[in-house]
Structure 1
Amino acid sequence: MTSSLPGWLARLYPFTPRSFTTPRGARMSYVDEGPRSAEAVLMLHGNPTWSFYYRELITALVPTLRCIAPDHVGMGLSDKPAGYDYSLATRIDDVAALVAQLGLTRVHLVVHDWGGAIGFGFAARHPALIGKLVILNTAAFASRHIPRRIALCKVPVIGPLLVRGLNGFAGPATWMAMHRRALTPDEKRGYLWPYSSWANRVAVSAFVRDIPMSPACRSWATLTEIENALPHFRDRPALILWGGQDFCFNDHFLARWRELLPAAEVQRIADAGHYVLEDAREEVIPQITTFFRGRD
C-alpha cells in the first residue's frame, strides 16, 4: 500500500511513508517528517484509525518539530498478517523497537484511543525518554466501562462477523466519532481505505477482542502495570484535550485522568466527539502547537 496512494488520498495525506520491520517480522509503516533530530513528537493512534488521524497536526508541527506517526501492525499502511500477536504487549514492543531504531533520545507523546495504553506502556518502560504529554480521549488504566455496541463486537463469532464481515466497527466510527461536524466524503474514505476487506480488517477485530475487561483477559496484567506507572509522569508537562460527546471514552475516563495527572492542563470541548482532533481541529491543533513550542 505504501508504494502508490490514490491521488485523492495523497492530497489529504501528503507524506512519504517509511517502513520498519518489527521484532516479530511484520512491516510497520510510519511517517517521519520535520527536522532531523533525536527529539520527536510520537503520535500513536487507536482503533480503527491510522496515522491519517494525525495528518493536520503533523502539517502544523513539522516546520519546527520532528513528527513520527506509525501505523500499528494490521492498521493503516502497515502489513496485516493473519497470525500476528495482536496484543497490547506486542504493540508496546513494536513502538519501543521503532523508537530504538530511530535513535530517539527524547520523545513527546500524543495519544488517542488505544494509543494511550500503547504510548504509556512505552513510557513506563522508558521513563527517562519521555518529555511532554498530550492526551486525547483515551485511557491507560483498567476499567470495566464499555459501550454495549463495542461489547457486542467482542462476542465470539458474532463480533468478527460484524467487524470483519460487515465493517461494523470502522464504518460506523466515521460518523459516531464525530459530533460537531461531519467528515467530508474524502476524509471518510481516508479512514476506511486501509480496511477494504475481511483480511484487511484483521487488526480492527483483534483490537476489540483485546480490550481487557477483567483479570482473566490476557492484556489486563499489562494494562495494570501501565496504570501503576502513571503517577511517575505527574512531573511531565501534560495537556488533556477531551471531546465531551465521546460515546466510548466519556467523562468517567476524563475524571480518572484528572486524578492521575492532577497538574495537567485540561480542556473539555463540550460539543466534540471521540475524534476530537478531527472534530474540533480549529481549536485543538493550535493548542497542541503552542504547548509543544513552549518551554518545558
Structure 2
Amino acid sequence: MQHPHVAFQSGQKTAELEGLSHRPLKVAWTESGHGAPIILLHGIPTWSYLYHDVIPLLASHAHVIAPDFLGHGYSDKRDFFDRSLLAQTAMILRFMDHLGVDRAHIVGHDTGGGVALIMGIHHPERVDKLVLTNVVAYDSWPIDDMIALGNPSWRSKPPKEVCDFLASGLPDGLFNADRLTPAFIAGIVAPYNDEEGKISMIRNASALNSNHTTMLVDRHGEIQAKTLCLWGVHDPWQTIRDGERLAREIPNAQLVRVENASHWIPHDTPEKFASEIAKFIAPA
C-alpha cells in the first residue's frame, strides 16, 4: 500500500526558477481547484504535505497552490543557497511570476507566516487577503529544537537520527492525539531521510533569524490587506499572545481562536482550519 505522502509527492509539479541563486533552483508545488488563487505557506520542519487534508477542502472555494520552500520538502535541497525568510519571500514572488499570478490570498503558518508578514509589508500589491496562523513573529523564535538542529555537529549524524529528532518534536505541536499517526510522522520527515535532505534541514535550521521578524514589528500597522489571525490556542511555541498582539497591531485584522488545536493547526483541525479560511476569503 502506498504511503499517503508518496501519493502526495507524486502529484507535485516542479519548475526551475532563475535569479534566486547563481544556478536555477527547483521548486515543487501542488495545486488544485479553480477560482481566486490562494497560496499556502508551510514552516519548518514541514513541507506542503502539512496541508494534505486542507487542500481538498479549500479546492472547492479557490485555486489552491501549496509550494515547498527552498530546502524543504521536494524543492531544491542542494547545499549552496540561502534559506532565510527573505530568501523564501524572494522565491515566492518569483514563483508567482512563473505561474502568472499577480495577486493571491496568502496563508502563512510558522516560518511561512514570517514570509507572509514580509509580503504584506513589502509587497502589498501581491497580497489580496492575508491569513496568519500560528506564525513566527517578534522574537519568540527559533524554538530550542531548531536552534539545536542548526549546530554543525549534526552533519556527522546519520539521516535517521535527524529524522528521529524531528519526529520527537511533532507531538508537542498537536492537541489531538489521534492526529499523531505514523503516516503523518513518516510524511513530514520523509524528504530529510537521506544525506542531502539531512544537510538541507540542518541548513534550514541554521538560517532561522529573528531579526527578520523583529525588523517588521513597528511596521505591522502598514499592512493594508484584510487579515485573519487564525490561532490554535494550545500552541506552546507561537502562543496565542502573539496572535492577540498581531490582531491589535494590524489595522484591518481579526482574531479567531481555535480551541482544541495546537501549533500544527492545519493537521490538528483541518476542517475548522479550512472552513474559517473559506469564509474569510469568500467575496463580500
Q: Which 10-residue stretch deviates more, 275-284 or 120-129? A: 120-129
Q: Distance in 2 between matches of 1:27 and 1:147?
A: 28
Aligned to 2:190: 193
The 1:244/1:160 distance shift into structure 2, 3 A limit, reads: farther
The 1:161/1:251 distance shift into structure 2, 3 A limit, reads: farther
Which of 40, 44, 67 matches 1:70?
67
Q: Distance in 1 between matches of 2:256 and 2:115?
A: 23
Q: Distance in 2 between matches of 1:169 and 1:253?
A: 26
Aligned to 1:176: 172
Aligned to 2:237: 248
Contact 1:117 1:226 in 2 (8 A): no
Which residue identity does 2:2 align to in structure 1? G
Helix, strand or coil: the match of 2:187? helix
Q: CA deviation at 1:119?
A: 2.2
The 1:190/1:10 distance shift into structure 2, 3 A limit, reads: closer
Which residue identity does 1:17 align to in structure 2? Q
The 1:174/1:99 distance shift into structure 2, 3 A limit, reads: same
Aligned to 2:25: 26
Which of 6, 9, 29 matches 2:4?
9
The 1:82/1:65 distance shift into structure 2, 3 A limit, reads: same
Q: Distance in 2 between matches of 1:240 and 1:282?
A: 17
Contact 1:153 1:163 in 2 (8 A): no
Q: Deviations over 1:85-132 (max 9, x none)?
A: 222221111111001111212210111000011122233332122111
Aligned to 1:138: 135
Aligned to 2:220: 230
RMSD of aligned residue pairs (Cα, Å): 2.7
Q: CA deviation at 1:32?
A: 2.3
Q: CA deviation at 1:286?
A: 1.5
Q: Which 10-residue stretch deviates more, 103-112 or 264-273? A: 264-273
Q: CA deviation at 1:52?
A: 0.8
Q: CA deviation at 1:138?
A: 0.4
Helix, strand or coil: the match of 2:197? helix
Contact 2:5 2:187 in 1 (8 A): no
Which residue identity does 1:88 align to in structure 2? L
Which residue identity does 1:32 align to in structure 2? E
Q: Which 10-residue stretch deviates more, 278-287 or 40-49? A: 278-287
The 1:209/1:11 distance shift into structure 2, 3 A limit, reads: closer
The residue correspondences of 1:268-287 to structure 2 (distance < 5 A) are 268-287=257-276
- 5+ long unaligned stretches in structure 2: none
Contact 1:165 1:198 in 2 (8 A): no
Q: Distance in 2 between matches of 1:225 and 1:31?
A: 31
Aligned to 2:42: 45
Q: Distance in 1 between matches of 2:155 and 2:9?
A: 33
Helix, strand or coil: the match of 1:13? helix
Aligned to 2:99: 102
Q: Distance in 2 between matches of 1:68 and 1:267?
A: 23
Q: Deviations over 1:201-247 (max 9, x none)?
A: 3332223222225xxxxxx2x434444443222x4322222112212
Which residue identity does 2:175 align to in structure 1? H
Contact 2:71 2:77 in 1 (8 A): yes
The 1:173/1:145 distance shift into structure 2, 3 A limit, reads: closer
Contact 1:131 1:236 in 2 (8 A): yes
- 5+ long unaligned stretches in structure 1: 1-5, 214-219
Which residue identity does 1:133 align to in structure 2? L
Helix, strand or coil: the match of 2:230? strand
Q: Distance in 2 between matches of 1:277 and 1:193?
A: 18
> Matched residue pairs, number?
278
The 1:162/1:263 distance shift into structure 2, 3 A limit, reads: farther
Q: Which 10-residue stretch deviates more, 262-271 or 19-28? A: 262-271
Q: Deviations over 1:122-147 (max 9, x none)?
A: 333321221111111003x4315554
Helix, strand or coil: the match of 1:48? coil
Contact 2:68 2:74 in 1 (8 A): yes
TM-score, normalized by length of structure 1?
A: 0.83
Which residue identity does 1:281 align to in structure 2? P
Q: Distance in 1 between matches of 2:165 and 2:249?
A: 30
Which of 19, 43, 52 matches 1:55?
52
